């Protein structure tokens, strides 16, 4: 009777390689295996075709300013262990079962350490990346970056176009958005707080959200928090950013939206001479938008104006998904 052939050991690190080949969700965004989902906070970034380079630029830029504002990021002991030689880690492996257990433990540790200050996830749309943030305020960080670039006129990126903070996310259904924003808007608009505002709306890969309904309902919620909150389409104190991708709605309330050229990194560094060629009123009018005025008790009709396409946004954002402003 022929002797059974000895079992062959699998090559070192093969378990980790196979885990890395696990099927990842599609849909663009240069993410690392996770998808954008309700409950996340972070920064939405648009680019022109080169998502991989965009992710690299985003990590570099956010890391630079993140360290300035929040101090250097602290890493866990697991990362130091990961830097050890692969051969040293596997010296004591006796069989496949022991190797498998060790690989699983390392994968779990790797997952834990990847919960970093900045982490790219799948956005769900082409030419759009989403950087999830932990332990920071996205709107403060992005405002600081744009303020510095606006002051120095120094362009630090090549493929990043717009950088929008996403301070909160919820399901992209009208009832979910209404319920979520009733508390989300309070820090800016609930009495005694007040301010002038506009709403900028963008939807990607989503067909069930009605832009007019969303604008109308969110504007109504802002007004209900304090009747002194007023719409200003020329130079508002606050801009409410609504970014919908598939079934996720990202929200933020930002300052200096007009001054910082709609949070466009390529435009904000242009000289004052270039900027003064267009006054704030013209900048608001040339948005790729419809203008929708919220209904009031004295006024039951709404005025809708169809504006010209914004050439500055047409390259990175597909046609047909207009930006709406209130």
Rounded distance, CA 199 to CA 236, Å?
10
The pLDDT value given to residue 97: 74
- Is the pLDDT at 5 greater than 50? The verdict is yes
3-state secondary structure of 228: coil
Lowest mean pLDDT among 21-25, 93-97, 212-216: 21-25
Average pLDDT value for the chain = 77
Within 10 angstroms of residue 123's Cβ, the number of other Cβ atoms is 30
**Whose CA is closest to 164, among 186, 146, 189?**
146
Peptide bond into 52 cis (omega under 30): no
Lowest mean pLDDT among 125-134, 200-209, 277-286: 277-286
Rounded distance, CA 81 to CA 109, Å?
10
Percent share of the chain, pLDDT over 90: 57
The model's confidence at residue 222, banded by pLDDT at 50, 70 and 90, is very high
- Start-end of H helices in the chain: 14-20, 51-70, 77-82, 86-89, 96-113, 138-152, 174-184, 186-189, 211-225, 265-268, 272-275, 280-285
| Cα–Cα distances in angstroms (integers) from residue 22 to residues 15, 16, 25, 97, in the given order | 11, 10, 10, 20
| Cα–Cα distances in angstroms (integers) from residue 238 to residues 195, 218, 266, 304, 325, in the given order | 7, 14, 22, 21, 12
Between 231 and 77, the more confident residue is: 231
pTM of the shown model: 0.68
The pLDDT value given to residue 123: 95
What is the arithmetic mean of pLDDT over 252-262?
Answer: 97
- Is the pLDDT at 65 greater than 70? The verdict is yes
The pLDDT value given to residue 85: 45
Rounded distance, CA 228 to CA 193, Å?
9
CB neighbour list of residue 311: distance below 8 Å, 6 or more residues apart: none
Beta-bridge partner residues of 44: 130, 164
The pLDDT value given to residue 307: 38
Rounded distance, CA 149 to CA 59, Å?
17
Task: Give me the helix-helix angle, 211-225 and 174-184, nearest 10°.
Answer: 30
The pLDDT value given to residue 11: 55
Rounded distance, CA 27 to CA 143, Å?
28
Rounded distance, CA 139 to CA 163, Å?
10
- Is the pLDDT at 119 greater than 50? The verdict is yes
What is the arithmetic mean of pLDDT over 261-285?
Answer: 69
Peptide bond into 101 cis (omega under 30): no
């Amino acid at each position: 009777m022929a002797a059974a052939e000895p079992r062959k050991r699998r090559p070192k690190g093969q378990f980790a390689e196979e885990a890395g080949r696990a099927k990842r969700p599609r849909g663009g965004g240069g993410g690392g295996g996770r998808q954008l989902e309700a409950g996340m906070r972070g920064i939405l970034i648009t680019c022109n075709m080169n998502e991989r380079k965009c992710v690299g630029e985003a990590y570099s830029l956010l890391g630079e300013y993140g360290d300035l504002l929040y101090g250097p990021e602290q890493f866990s002991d697991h990362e130091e262990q990961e830097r050890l030689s692969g051969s040293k880690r596997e010296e004591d492996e006796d069989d496949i079962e022991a190797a498998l257990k060790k690989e699983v433990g390392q994968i779990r540790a790797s997952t834990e350490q990847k919960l970093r200050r900045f982490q790219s996830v799948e956005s769900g749309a082409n030419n759009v990346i989403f950087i999830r943030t932990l332990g920071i305020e996205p709107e403060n960080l992005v405002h600081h970056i744009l303020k510095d670039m606006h002051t120095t006129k120094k362009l630090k990126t090549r493929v990043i176009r717009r950088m929008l903070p996403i301070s909160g996310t919820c399901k992209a259904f009208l009832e979910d958005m209404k319920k979520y924003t009733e508390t989300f808007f309070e820090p800016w608009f609930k009495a005694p707080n007040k301010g002038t505002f506009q709403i900028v709306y963008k939807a990607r890969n989503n067909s069930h959200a009605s832009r007019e309904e969303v604008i109308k309902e969110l504007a109504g919620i802002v007004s209900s928090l304090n009747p002194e909150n007023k719409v200003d389409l020329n130079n508002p104190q606050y801009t409410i950013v609504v970014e919908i991708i598939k079934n996720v709605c990202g929200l933020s309330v930002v300052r200096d939206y007009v001054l910082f050229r709609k949070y466009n990194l390529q435009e904000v560094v242009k000289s004052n001479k270039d900027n003064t060629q267009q006054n704030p009123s013209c900048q608001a009018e040339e948005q790729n938008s419809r203008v929708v005025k919220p209904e009031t008790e004295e006024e039951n009709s709404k005025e809708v104006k169809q504006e010209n396409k914004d050439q500055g946004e047409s390259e990175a954002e597909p046609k047909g998904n207009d930006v709406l402003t209130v």
